[in-house]
Structure 1
Amino acid sequence: MKESIDFSAEIAKELGIAEWKVKNAIELLEDGKTIPFIARYRKEKTGELNEIQLREISDLLEHLKKLYERKNEIIRLVEERGKLTPELKKAFLGARSLQELEDLYAPYKSKKKTRADIARERGLVPLAELLKTNLEKADEKIRSFIDPEKGVETAEDAIAGARDIIAEEISINLQVRNRLREIIKRRGHLRSERADGEDQKGIYRDYYDFSQPIPQLVPHRVLAIFRGEREKVLKVSVEISGDLTPMVLKLLNFDERLAYYDELVDAVRDSLKRLLLPSIEREIRNELKEMAENRAITVFSKNLKNLLLQPPLGSKVVMGIDPGYRTGCKLAVIGKDGSVLYYDTIYPTPPKNEIIQAEMKVVEAVKLLNVEIISIGNGTASRETELFIAETIKKNHLSCKYLIVSEAGASIYSASKVAIEEFPDYDVTTRGAISIARRVQDPLAEYVKIPPESIGVGMYQHDVNSKKLKKTLDREVESAVNYAGVNLNTASKHLLKYISGLNEKSADNIVKYRAENGLFKNRNELLKVSGIGPKAFEQAAGFCRIIGGENPLDSTTVHPESYHIATAVLESVGKRPEDLTTNREEVEALLKEFDIDAFCEETGFNKITVRDVVDALKKPGLDPRDELPKPLLRDDVLTMEQLSPGMLLEGTVRNVVDFGAFVDIGVKQDGLIHRSKMGRNIKDPLEILSVGQIVKVRVLSVDLERGRIALELVREEN
């Protein structure tokens, strides 16, 4: 049985959260409760910790467990070698980080034979001690270490061996390593220069002769430099100016009064050049890479969540177009329920330019099928297709509008097992057009079918730790799906599997149950589904809504365990659960004036839970995404040539990165709002901008030759 360690005090101190909250959160996490469930339905127990705080607790708990396991592993290994002392064990257990722990363990590691090991085998350890301590010369004593049989031919050989022992001792000295690490992190530079690899497009031109202080490095630059090194375009090193030898000598108390001071200076220089600096450079490079990776993953995950939570345009007839040149533009019209009504291929773009035929097909489909929105993918040939659609709408006085949607992951989806199961009779490109259309009706329901790492709203996502990236992104998808909730009677298995307490198998079983037994009439029916027991039900029920079922409370985010509270709240304002359906506006008006404090005093119910129940009753059946601004719909198009500095436009944020945000303003090329053009001193563009956000921008400059548009954010003052 594994020993259970309580890390709550340590985590509480590190995160600045009350220990009781952390303790209860850990208890819930260890019991298998998901973060979205704890954040929404266990607020009483955690003191209203939010998802971000719960993730921090979960991650730190995982780190501390790994650190504890590594400590025990090291203690076991050192004990097996007969080197463990009570003091050493205490030092191992007291290590605050993996780095500190590995530094302590370094002298005891099994490693290939070093120069110092050979010197030790030759019996030169006493000579090393003599060199470090003697105030007077002892040449006769040194000669006594000459032993040709052991390979020590001369006194110089003996001294050289002793120097090797000292150099290695210095390289594993904790005080020296920590001080050196601190100096390099503060004063060191990351340097890159041109190597032999090809860089035909000049992607890494800015880094052919580059040097920047380590504290000033920004994550995207670090990732770009290391990628350039991997592709053999750049040579990269960590540099520190000045001689570090005096500092090391001082730390070790090697002063000039020692008889063999010059030998000690040589040993320090050798240790720095051959052992210490290469080792610490590796550590610092790893730290820089980890820092940059973590930031890239954070940017990607925030962009992904914002993309997933784009407001759905709901039950609309949508024409999806997957643009292309040679193979044409694939077109698919889907009905209000997402079913495919029509599909075809049109060729309005080069090389065929069959504009008249394409126009006839689009106009006929729009009129016959009552298409309300045309959704165009933002990939290859997107702008030419947009121009064609805008002109077709205008020329034929069509009542529909169009928008550009992110094509991210559409090609991955259309060739996937999921797409083949959904649309076995359609080819890959038609499936892509269907996905582009459905993204308008419900972005979340469509994006969950794609591996999150394939949705390109990140920064250098191919340069980061794929396992860590996947874990973080899966967590964001889970958070988004549970935030929005699902309609139990319409949700696909791809959405359901992310619901708290469910998995791929139970999601599949829900869909099968629906097919065999008809629609769910109440939440309790979930317990009849194979694989869903009381524990899974407890976590899933509140996130699964039933519209028009037997119990009106099932259409709210109120958890079944709080139905008695919801009923009591409604009774106190003279209403019943049925009124949520028949007198919705009246219930909402009454609840706006509801005195939560007085109700809790009278009933003894917990105030936090009552507040959440009241909020949920005000908005039965509401998808929280419906309150967000809708996507920007267009019926006309601009060209880059029509842009001029000073022009004010509306656009949609497509991607947010550390140095700015890319905005679709309805021309061929997305414009860039640099961080410095966001109206005030913004350190992180994600503070004020998100993927899918509609923004007002001013054109600063247009570079037709390089296809670049510089924009400035126009911030509306309150």
Structure 2
Amino acid sequence: MTDQHIIQTIAHTIHVSEKQIQTALSLLQSGNTIPFIARYRKEATGMLNEIQLRQIQEQYEYEQALSSRREAVRQSIMEQGQWTEELGRLLDQAGKLQEIEDLYMPYKPKKRTKASMARDAGLEPLADIFWQQDPHGPSPEEAAASYLNETIPTIEDAIAGAANILAERMSELAPYRQYLRRALWKTSKLECALLVEEDEAKAMLTYKDFSGRIASLPSHRILAINRGEAQKLLKVTLTDTPDANIGKLIQDVTVCDSPYGQIIAAAAADSYKRLIFPQLEREIRSDLTERAEKQAISIFAKNLRSLLLQPPFAGQVILGLDPGYRTGCKAAVIDATGNVLDYGVCYLTGSEKQRRASADTLLSMIQNHGVTLLSIGNGTASYETEQFVASLIQENDLSCRYIIANESGASVYSASDLAREELPDLDVTIRGAVSIARRIQDPLAEAVKIDPKSIGVGQYQHDVNQKSLSAALDAVVESVVNYVGVDLNTASAALLQHVSGLTAATAANIVAYRKEKGPFHSRQELLSVNRLGPATFTQCAGFLRIKGGDEPLDNTSVHPESYELTEKIISHYGLTKADLHDEEKLRALQSKVQMNAVPVLAAKFQAGEPTIRDILEELRKPGRDVRSEFPLPLTRRNVVSLDELKIGTVVRGTVHNVVDFGAFVDFGLKTPGLIHRSELCNHPFRHPTDVISVGDVVDAVIISVDSSRGRVGLSIKKLKQSLKKPTES
């Protein structure tokens, strides 16, 4: 398949023009990154977004692999002298890798099988006699008699060997395999049985005597079943209807009534049970797993994006607390720019004497440094730490509040080379408390230092293909970092390396340059950084910000290549670029800028409307942080007890994780409450992420409380229904 055919296929699949596909591929092959193309090449691509660009890239790679495999199969069959025009037509029509493999199966070199041994014994001509099904042919016994030798001593052995050849031929019939594949996907079920006693089954007890249609199995069930099977807790089988399926195969291969009908029927049954169904069972299980993994990875990616877009608590002095029992609660105070001001260890769950000393220590830290917010890790002893902090705030009438932070990955970061480089003078345990504080101060800047798989906002992330998971999560991090933008003078190398066009090496060079020369005064100064040339500058410059620099546009997402155009637009409104430094004149400009002027300005300056629109958006809100549009996580002053909860109570909380079956919400309890997908809303939706996201602040009503298991059920749907009811007068 030529590149043009591939482009046509992709255009048909994602419903965009061939010209858009061609342009996108050309830009990608020229070394441009997806964030750069999506943001700064809108006119060229016809406004393709990041999702569409990634689809184009992925499908192009798949179609190339498909084309390569098609050609390899073509060459192999030709070398065998088996090529036909009909086979070529079918191969060209094959749109999936599995269809190509089905066609190749009869010609694929095989390992030693029952059929190959029968061929080696000279029984293929006998199999041909049976296969042709001549109604006037000799009896099977008469036909087999002439094939007896030392290897095949009896007529029964000859017939059995020929039948093995027939069974293999039947297993290679592409039309039947395609029929059976469709039938199994429609009707089959996955059934589970326990391989251990119930008290040993743990979480897999849910799948005792489980049966579910494969066509409708949710991904989390498939991955759970796979885990149970891998741990040898479950026996898993795919159900089928063998009699009907064997009957269909016999019907497909039977030409007419002949003396060989029974042999054909027996070979069909053997082919189905020994060869066809086991192969398709493995294939279907593999496809189920692949689909489930793709879904799980997609959900993890959506959750990670929402988490990374959490707005920062800017301008706050934060006390980070990494709770613990035996080793104590590690504490660290950071200032508004993330620098460590103070640290220590408190024993909040120890003796009364230790608790009083810890209260004095924390109170001193809060008062001496003007702490405005406490960030408490949600790991071991988090609930006890929260109780202690709530009492401290109330008893001392403190104005600060606290928040529960997701501490997943903090311990991994604390022991990393990056943490040692950033905080060389601090013990590994204190680094964890610093991380917990910083991830509230600026979630994105801190989260990029942690392996995304360790952030803990997915489901079964350790059971999926780790290479695919890493690629998807890295793409999310890259997308968010470039969407938000990065402060060139404060960003760590860990954050900078995710900027379009930059690598770990160039990011490190930027930090080294900053340490040696001081802060950057303009984007153009980037060209002085070692190994950062014009091509890299073009890719990264628009995503890097400089606050208070020489060039006011350097603190916007306007790309340097559009500075001249931007100056013309500013001049059109009667101002100069230097006026952007003057707050009063900036407000005057913002009051004049109207988005409906885009077509007029585009015509006047001979520029693309998308670029004009983006420039006007920046002039209306220069230096804005796009994360400010999202709600801040809830902070608290007091702790909630499970015993205090009653059905019907309305609570407010922050969504911490969204999975296939619902959303987990932190509303101040030790464990989060669950909003099952059936309790999210009244209108239909495909997945909970369609209606709720990590970081959302929601109101919900308590619909169930299980104190013994520490579980609370919540409902948004029932709360909305109760609000619609008329109140009694």
Q: Post-superposition shift, 1:24? A: 0.8
Any idea what the Cα deviations from partners look like across 1:610-669, whole Å, max 9, x if unmatched? 111111111111111122211211111110100000111110101000100000010111
Any idea what the Cα deviations from partners look like across 1:594-615, whole Å, max 9, x if unmatched? 6222222222221111111111
Q: Post-superposition shift, 1:88? A: 4.0
Q: Post-superposition shift, 1:523? A: 1.0
One-letter amino acid matched to 1:452: P
- What CA distance in whole angstroms lies between the structure 1 residues aligned with 2:569 and 2:209? 69
Residue of structure 2 in register with 1:282 after alignment: 282
Residue of structure 2 in register with 1:684 after alignment: 687
Residue of structure 1 in register with 2:149 after alignment: 148
Any idea what the Cα deviations from partners look like across 1:231-250, whole Å, max 9, x if unmatched? 00001111113511221122
One-letter amino acid matched to 1:640: L
SS of residue in 2 equivalent to 1:666: coil
- Does the 8 Å CA contact 1:403/1:632 hold for their aligned counterparts? yes
What are the within-5 Å matches in structure 2 for residues 458-607 of structure 1?
Answer: 458-582=458-582, 583-592=585-594, 595-607=597-609
One-letter amino acid matched to 2:183: I
Q: Post-superposition shift, 1:382? A: 0.7
**Pair 1:109 & 2:112 matched:** no
Residue of structure 1 in register with 2:625 after alignment: 623
SS of residue in 2 equivalent to 1:478: helix
SS of residue in 2 equivalent to 1:355: helix
- Does the 8 Å CA contact 1:145/1:155 hold for their aligned counterparts? no
Q: Post-superposition shift, 1:593? A: 6.5
One-letter amino acid matched to 2:588: E
- Does the 8 Å CA contact 2:595/2:613 hold for their aligned counterparts? no
- Does the 8 Å CA contact 1:303/1:691 hold for their aligned counterparts? yes
| Structure 1 pair 604–143 and aligned structure 2 pair: CA distance change class (3 A) | closer
- Does the 8 Å CA contact 2:565/2:605 hold for their aligned counterparts? no
- What CA distance in whole angstroms lies between the structure 2 residues aligned with 1:185 and 1:337? 56
One-letter amino acid matched to 2:580: L
Q: May I ask how many residue pairs the two structures share in their alignment?
A: 715
- What CA distance in whole angstroms lies between the structure 2 residues aligned with 1:532 and 1:270? 66
- Does the 8 Å CA contact 2:324/2:381 hold for their aligned counterparts? yes
What are the within-5 Å matches in structure 2 for residues 49-448 of structure 1?
Answer: 49-85=48-84, 87-132=86-131, 133-136=133-136, 138-139=138-139, 141-149=142-150, 151-196=151-196, 200=200, 202-241=202-241, 243=243, 244-255=245-256, 257-349=257-349, 354-448=354-448
- Does the 8 Å CA contact 1:314/1:441 hold for their aligned counterparts? yes
**Pair 1:704 & 2:718 matched:** no
Any idea what the Cα deviations from partners look like across 1:245-302, whole Å, max 9, x if unmatched? 22112222445x2221111110100000000000000010000000000000001111
- What CA distance in whole angstroms lies between the structure 2 residues aligned with 1:247 and 1:353? 81
One-letter amino acid matched to 1:277: F
Give the percent of matched residue pairs that are identical in Structure 1 and Structure 2.
Answer: 45
- Does the 8 Å CA contact 1:197/1:232 hold for their aligned counterparts? no
- Does the 8 Å CA contact 1:254/1:264 hold for their aligned counterparts? no
| Structure 1 pair 254–518 and aligned structure 2 pair: CA distance change class (3 A) | same
- What CA distance in whole angstroms lies between the structure 2 residues aligned with 1:578 and 1:198? 75
> Which shifted more, 554-563 or 125-134?
125-134
Q: Post-superposition shift, 1:201? A: 6.0
- What CA distance in whole angstroms lies between the structure 1 residues aligned with 2:219 and 2:166? 38
Q: Post-superposition shift, 1:79? A: 4.3
- What CA distance in whole angstroms lies between the structure 2 residues aligned with 1:471 and 1:444? 18
- What CA distance in whole angstroms lies between the structure 1 residues aligned with 2:415 and 2:506? 25
- Does the 8 Å CA contact 2:144/2:159 hold for their aligned counterparts? no
**Pair 1:643 & 2:645 matched:** yes
| Structure 1 pair 506–11 and aligned structure 2 pair: CA distance change class (3 A) | same
Any idea what the Cα deviations from partners look like across 1:444-477, whole Å, max 9, x if unmatched? 0000001111111110001100000000000000
Any idea what the Cα deviations from partners look like across 1:396-425, whole Å, max 9, x if unmatched? 011111101111111110111111111122
One-letter amino acid matched to 1:663: V
- Does the 8 Å CA contact 1:197/1:234 hold for their aligned counterparts? no
- What CA distance in whole angstroms lies between the structure 1 residues aligned with 2:20 and 2:668? 49
Q: Post-superposition shift, 1:189? A: 0.8
Q: What TM-score do the two structures reach when normalised by structure 2?
A: 0.95
- Does the 8 Å CA contact 1:676/1:682 hold for their aligned counterparts? no
| Structure 1 pair 103–329 and aligned structure 2 pair: CA distance change class (3 A) | same
SS of residue in 1 equivalent to 2:593: helix
Residue of structure 2 in register with 1:454 after alignment: 454
- What CA distance in whole angstroms lies between the structure 2 residues aligned with 1:156 and 1:200? 50
- What CA distance in whole angstroms lies between the structure 2 residues aligned with 1:353 and 1:21? 71
- Does the 8 Å CA contact 1:199/1:233 hold for their aligned counterparts? no
Q: Post-superposition shift, 1:13? A: 0.7
One-letter amino acid matched to 1:690: S
- Does the 8 Å CA contact 2:148/2:155 hold for their aligned counterparts? no
- What CA distance in whole angstroms lies between the structure 1 residues aligned with 2:382 and 2:353? 14
| Structure 1 pair 604–700 and aligned structure 2 pair: CA distance change class (3 A) | same
Q: Post-superposition shift, 1:97? A: 1.0
- What CA distance in whole angstroms lies between the structure 2 residues aligned with 1:390 and 1:360? 14
SS of residue in 2 equivalent to 1:343: strand
Q: Post-superposition shift, 1:339? A: 0.9
SS of residue in 2 equivalent to 1:170: helix
Which of 698, 709, 712 aligns to 1:695? It is 698
Q: What TM-score do the two structures reach when normalised by structure 1?
A: 0.96
| Structure 1 pair 351–474 and aligned structure 2 pair: CA distance change class (3 A) | farther
- Does the 8 Å CA contact 2:330/2:344 hold for their aligned counterparts? yes
Q: Post-superposition shift, 1:698? A: 0.6
Residue of structure 1 in register with 2:26 after alignment: 27
Q: CA RMSD in A?
A: 1.9
- What CA distance in whole angstroms lies between the structure 2 residues aligned with 1:550 and 1:101? 60
What are the within-5 Å matches in structure 2 for residues 644-659 of structure 1?
Answer: 644-659=646-661
Unaligned runs of 5+ in 2: 725-729
One-letter amino acid matched to 2:482: N
- Does the 8 Å CA contact 1:320/1:331 hold for their aligned counterparts? yes
Q: Post-superposition shift, 1:352? A: 7.5
- Does the 8 Å CA contact 2:320/2:374 hold for their aligned counterparts? yes
- What CA distance in whole angstroms lies between the structure 2 residues aligned with 1:279 and 1:353? 68
| Structure 1 pair 92–222 and aligned structure 2 pair: CA distance change class (3 A) | same
SS of residue in 1 equivalent to 2:73: helix
SS of residue in 2 equivalent to 1:26: helix
One-letter amino acid matched to 1:686: T
> Which shifted more, 523-532 or 283-292?
523-532
- Does the 8 Å CA contact 1:675/1:683 hold for their aligned counterparts? no
- What CA distance in whole angstroms lies between the structure 2 residues aligned with 1:182 and 1:223? 22
Any idea what the Cα deviations from partners look like across 1:498-534, whole Å, max 9, x if unmatched? 0001100000111111111121111111111111111
One-letter amino acid matched to 1:456: G
> Which shifted more, 421-430 or 83-92?
83-92
- Does the 8 Å CA contact 1:553/1:563 hold for their aligned counterparts? yes
- Does the 8 Å CA contact 2:545/2:556 hold for their aligned counterparts? yes
Unaligned runs of 5+ in 1: none
- Does the 8 Å CA contact 1:254/1:261 hold for their aligned counterparts? no
- Does the 8 Å CA contact 1:186/1:215 hold for their aligned counterparts? yes
SS of residue in 1 equivalent to 2:146: coil
> Which shifted more, 275-284 or 567-576?
567-576
- Does the 8 Å CA contact 1:552/1:578 hold for their aligned counterparts? yes
- What CA distance in whole angstroms lies between the structure 2 residues aligned with 1:349 and 1:477? 38
